A and B are shown apart, each in its own frame.
Chain A
Amino acid sequence: MTNSIDEIKYADCIFVIGSNTTLAHPLVATRIFQARDNGARLIVADPRKIQLASFADLYVRQRLGTDVALINGMMHVILKNGWHDEAFIGERTENFEELKKVVEKYTPEKSSEVTGISPEDITRMAEYYAKAPRSTILYAMGITQHTTGVDNVKSLANLSMLTGNVGKESTGVNPLRGQNNVQGACDMGGLPNVYPGYQAVNAVDIRTKFEKAWKVRLSDKPGLTLTDLFPAILEGKVKALVVMGENPLVSDPDSHHVEKALRALEFLAVIDIFMTPTAEIAHVVLPAASFAEKDGTFTNTERRVQRIRKAIDPPGEARQDWVIIQEISNRVGYQMNYSSPEEIQNEIASLTPSYGGITYDRLGGEGLCWPCPDKEHPGTKFLHKDRFARGRGLFHGIEYIPPAESPDDDYPFWLTTGRVFVHYHTGTMTRNSPSLDQEMREGYLEVNPADASAIGLKDGDKAKIASRRGEIISRIFITERVDKGTVFMSFHFLEARANVLTNPALDPIAKIPEYKVCAVRVEKWE
Chain B
Amino acid sequence: MQLKHVLTICPYCGCGCGIYLEVLDGEIIRTIPSKTSPVNQGRLCIKGWSAHEFVVSPKRLKRPYLRKQEKLHEASWDEVLDFTASRLREIREKHGPDSIAFLASAKCTNEENYLLQKLARAAIGTNNIDHCARL
Contact = CB atoms under 8 A, between A and B. Distances in A.
B47 A192 contact: no
Contact of A214 (B37, B89, B118, B129): B118
B87 A287 contact: no
Interface residues of A, number: 142
A457 interface: no
Interface string B1-34: 0001011111111111110010100111000000
Given A284-B84, A309-B6, A241 B14 contact: no
Contact of A240 (B6, B55, B99, B109): B99
A75 to B, nearest CB: 28
Contacts of B72: 280, 282, 285
B131 interface: yes
Most buried by B among A192, A193, A310, A325: A325
A258 B108 CA distance: 23
A519 B58 CA distance: 40
A196 B130 contact: no
Contacts of B86: 331
Nearest to B99: A239
B112 A317 contact: no
Nearest to B79: A284
Contact of B110 (A6, A297, A309): A297
A180 B13 contact: yes
A505 to B, nearest CB: 13
A332 B123 contact: yes
Given A196-B117, A331-B81, A435 B53 contact: yes
A430 B28 contact: no
Interface string A348-391: 10000000000000000111000000000000000000000000
Contacts of B83: 283-284
A435 B50 contact: yes
A321 B112 contact: yes
B109 A308 contact: yes
Interface string B100-135: 111111111111111111111111111111111111
Given A185-B108, A296-B112, A322-B112, A436 B62 contact: no
Given A180-B11, A266-B91, A219 B111 contact: no
A432 B133 contact: no
Contact of B133 (A182, A306, A327, A332): A182
A185 B80 contact: no
A398 interface: no
Interface string A270-286: 00111100011011111
B13 A344 contact: no
A420 to B, nearest CB: 11
Most buried by A among B4, B47, B108: B108
A290 B11 contact: yes
A218 interface: yes
Contacts of B15: 5, 25-28, 300-301
Contacts of A421: 46
B127 to A, nearest CB: 3
A430 B54 contact: yes
Interface stretch (A122-130, A221-229, A479-487): A221-229
Contacts of B9: 180, 291, 298, 300, 306-308
A280 B71 CA distance: 9
Contacts of B13: 24-25, 176-180, 301, 424
A299 interface: yes
Interface stretch (A92-100, A108-116, A509-517): A509-517
Contacts of A367: 38
Contacts of B80: 284-286
Contacts of A192: 127-130
A225 B16 contact: no
A284 B110 contact: no
Contact of B59 (A240, A267, A275): A275
Contact of B106 (A179, A253, A318, A430): A179
Nearest to A213: B122
B43 A246 contact: no
A223 B117 CA distance: 11
B54 A432 contact: yes
A35 to B, nearest CB: 15
Contact of A275 (B11, B61, B124): B61
Interface in B49-91: 49-50, 52-55, 57, 59-67, 72, 77, 80-89, 91
Nearest to A297: B110
A181 B12 CA distance: 9
Interface stretch (A48-56, A333-341, A400-408): A333-341
B134 A511 contact: yes
A246 B128 contact: no
A454 interface: no
A301 B133 contact: no
Contacts of B46: 421-422, 435-436, 439
Given A239-B95, A306-B16, A284 B102 contact: no
Given A27-B43, A284-B83, A512-B135, A244 B104 contact: yes
A521 interface: no
A327 B130 CA distance: 21
A188 to B, nearest CB: 4
Contacts of B38: 5-6, 304, 366-367
A185 B131 contact: yes
Given A190-B131, A223-B98, A311-B21, A292 B57 contact: no
Contacts of A243: 102-103
**Lowest 4 CB-CB distances: which A-B pairs, in order?**
A316-B62, A300-B16, A296-B109, A190-B104
20 contacts: A185-B113, A191-B133, A192-B128, A221-B98, A224-B130, A225-B134, A226-B130, A242-B101, A242-B103, A246-B106, A267-B84, A291-B107, A297-B111, A300-B39, A322-B109, A327-B81, A329-B115, A332-B119, A344-B115, A345-B110
Given A237-B98, A274-B60, 10 more contacts: A145-B135, A223-B127, A240-B91, A245-B106, A285-B65, A302-B39, A309-B7, A312-B28, A320-B112, A333-B89
